[in-house]
Amino acid sequence: MKEPLPIGMKLKLERKRLNLTQKELGERLGVGQSTVSDLEGGGLQSWHIHRDALARIFGKPKSFFEPGTDEVSESPPEIDAAGDMPDSVAIPEYDVRLSAGGGFEVDQESTRRYWPLPRFLVVERLNVSPNQATVQEVIGDSMEPTLSSGDYVLIDLSDTRIGLPGIFAIWDGDALVCKRVERIPASEPSEVRLKSDNPLHGEYRVPEERVRVIGRVRWVTRRM
């Protein structure tokens, strides 16, 4: 009896059949090329999030991307260019935490899980590219009442413009933190002010060259 093909191999064969690169398929799914590579290589923790979209893109029944089906069609299907965009996008959460207090050092930047979020929220309402976003947990109370410990924030990795007001995820030289960032005029060498919303925590100054802006916080979700 013929062994069924792994899901990752099915995905790779179907992608090549339609002459799509991993980057092109990622754009249709709303994910990065590295996610497609992981899916094809067997890192399938999030495959179920993309199953419906993959079925539409490849013109296959959803069952095709379940274990035990080894069919690969011979002729390319007709694809509705307007209908192959999924209703949700998968945003990665990495194995790091944003400190809104004393700070937590980064242990590793591996993907913990993917958050399936509505496309209209991420792309249309927030104007964030799914390929340039991450969801991270906030730890600590220094950004109260705006952000609370245990909140999850959506970060736009493409927006690092600290000249525009807002809350940013940054590496301050010691830890990954969530703060308001402000350049200090006429400072030499150039410094930035990292400000908390909680008056009990105040603010501190850091040489700008030590600060790495990760991205702008664009959305928050919390438990009531």
139, 143, 147, 149: which is closest to 202 by C-alpha?
143
Determine contact, residues 140/99, Cβ cutoff 8 Å: yes
Separation CA 37–CA 19 (nearest Å): 15
- At 113 the three-state DSSP class reads strand
Which of these ranges, 51-55, 78-82, 131-135, has the smallest mean pLDDT? 78-82
95, 221, 209, 202: which is closest to 151 by C-alpha?
221
**Kind and range of the H or E run holding 58:** helix 47-58
Separation CA 106–CA 115 (nearest Å): 21
Which tokens belong to 80?
Answer: 């509705």
pLDDT in tens, 57-112: 888 787 777 654 443 433 344 444 344 456 788 888 877 666 565 544 444 446 77
pLDDT in tens, 149-208: 899 999 998 888 888 889 999 877 666 788 999 888 888 888 888 899 999 988 888 888
Confidence at 220, pLDDT banded by 50, 70, 90: very high
38, 33, 179, 169: which is closest to 113 by C-alpha?
38
Rounded to 10 degrees, the C-alpha dihedral 80/81/86/87 comes to -90
Separation CA 122–CA 126 (nearest Å): 5
171, 166, 89, 165: which is closest to 133 by C-alpha?
89
Sorted by where each starts, the structural domains of the chain and their CATH numbers stand as: 7-65 (1.10.260.40), 88-221 (2.10.109.10)
27, 75, 73, 76: which is closest to 50 by C-alpha?
27
**Peptide bond preceding 4 in cis form (omega within 30 of 0):** no
